[in-house]
Amino acid sequence: MKFERFFYIPVVLVFLFVASCSGGKEKPSPRAEVNFLTLADVSGRTSFTEDSPDIRVIKNKAKALIKRDDIRAAQKTALANASKMAVNAMVQELLPAEKYNRHFAEIEKYLSSNIDKFIVAKEINGRKKIYLDQFMGIAASFKISRQKVLVALQKDLGLIDKSSGTLITVVTSKKDLDLSGMGFRFSDIEDALMNQIQTDLNQRGLHAMDFRNAITSFKGDKGKYEAYANLSKDQFMSMVAGSKAADVALNSQIEDAEAFYSTGLTLLKQLAKVVVEINILAVNQTNNNLVLNLGVTAKNISTARGGAFANSIIQVARKGGPNTDPAAMLTGLIKDTYMDMNKEFIPQVLKEMSTIDVKGNKLSPYQLVFKGFDDFRNVRRGIEGNESDDFRYIDYDNTLSRAEPSINIVLVRYSKKLSNLGDMVLDILDGLKLKAREPLVAPGVNDLVFEKIND
């Protein structure tokens, strides 16, 4: 009997050991669907402010696949993705829709290798594991240099349309100032101011010219040049101001004032987006001191919303000695004047120029995430078959197609609201006899998640 008892003891021990081992190898229960977080669940506040006219603060959200449980690498990749999105948003503000849509692939390629030179600062405001913990999602904010992006679009990519992005400056004086007693002429002030403005704004990526160059730029079109070659400052500014045809100081050879006025407005919109008028109010000399008073106004003439958006009165004084050269005195006075304009007036002009756009909608990048669609090929073909001017199929990513549930991503471009994109995709799925929950739409999110509803 003792032998039998000793025989059963090791058998029981072996059984318990095997049971414990098999229990340790049990597969973990699948993650609950309620834990399926998306980019819409990622949030955070930025500490950035637009502390200079050149700085644009842009906030967005991005994600990256977590490979080999490397959270740090995924976060770095997500931040890089968000960086591209932020600079791309600045590019979209600066380019007309038609031009951006034609060149978005070229722009994307350029940004991929030059992104850091446009970003002044960046910070992560929030982070979470999303999509069943397969992705790292972040909310981030960036300080983007508007000027550096402008210069890149003009010089590196050659995408700044100078004919439609022109800023025209007119220097006027309603008092017919006689400056001969001071040793210079009014045209000296006019030329000095124009050179200062054109040099600075052209370096900032804008195309600035005076009204004379703007008119003679029509030389390539003989009919237009003959009609407008003798346009005076008074006529030009009358059209900008929107005065009645009867008040326009017309050239004697133009008989139909109304026709000239309406055609003249068309001319202005072809030539420029913004007109800056510098009105010299007074130039006074006391002993060896020189004082310049002027009014500056900037007006957007390219869109229906137009009108003056920047206005300032500037007074600048310059001290001189008994042997000071008048030309040197004037040069210093003009530089001081422009420095004063740079405090508020010029930054307002730059900001307005960056937001003016022609008609049209830009094709922005989005991601369509399909969760639980095992028949993804049909979905992808359905999406691809609905391309239009407002919607472009780009590519797809099926890295997680074997996950439980499956996750497949389609990369697209769309020119309207994100909510409209969601409705369009739901209609496509309905046409394929597939049902999905309405996707969550949230600010700063560039992806839509479609969860399949099984009957």
Phi and psi dihedrals of 274, rounded to 5? -130, 135
- Alpha-carbon distance of 309 to 255, in angstroms, equals 34
Query: Beta strand 274-286 with 364-371: parallel, antiparallel or unpaired?
Result: unpaired
Determine the pLDDT at residue 65.
Answer: 93
Determine the pLDDT at residue 117.
Answer: 92
Residue 371 near residue 452 (C-beta atoms within 8 A): yes
Determine the pLDDT at residue 359.
Answer: 44
Q: Name the pTM for this structure.
A: 0.55
Domains, the chain, in order of start with CATH, read: 33-156 (3.10.129), 166-355 (no CATH), 364-451 (3.30.1360)
Residue 73 near residue 160 (C-beta atoms within 8 A): no
Residue 105 near residue 111 (C-beta atoms within 8 A): no
Determine the pLDDT at residue 167.
Answer: 82
- Alpha-carbon distance of 407 to 421, in angstroms, equals 19
pLDDT mean by block of 10 residues, the chain; 455 residues: 50 50 51 72 91 86 94 96 93 80 89 91 95 93 90 81 66 76 80 84 72 69 66 73 53 51 59 84 82 88 71 87 75 87 84 60 90 92 88 91 90 90 94 91 86 85
Residue 261 near residue 248 (C-beta atoms within 8 A): yes
- Alpha-carbon distance of 434 to 384, in angstroms, equals 16
Determine the pLDDT at residue 163.
Answer: 46
Q: Distance from first CA to last CA of the chain, Å, rounded?
A: 63
- Bridge partners of residue 308, in order along the sequence: 299
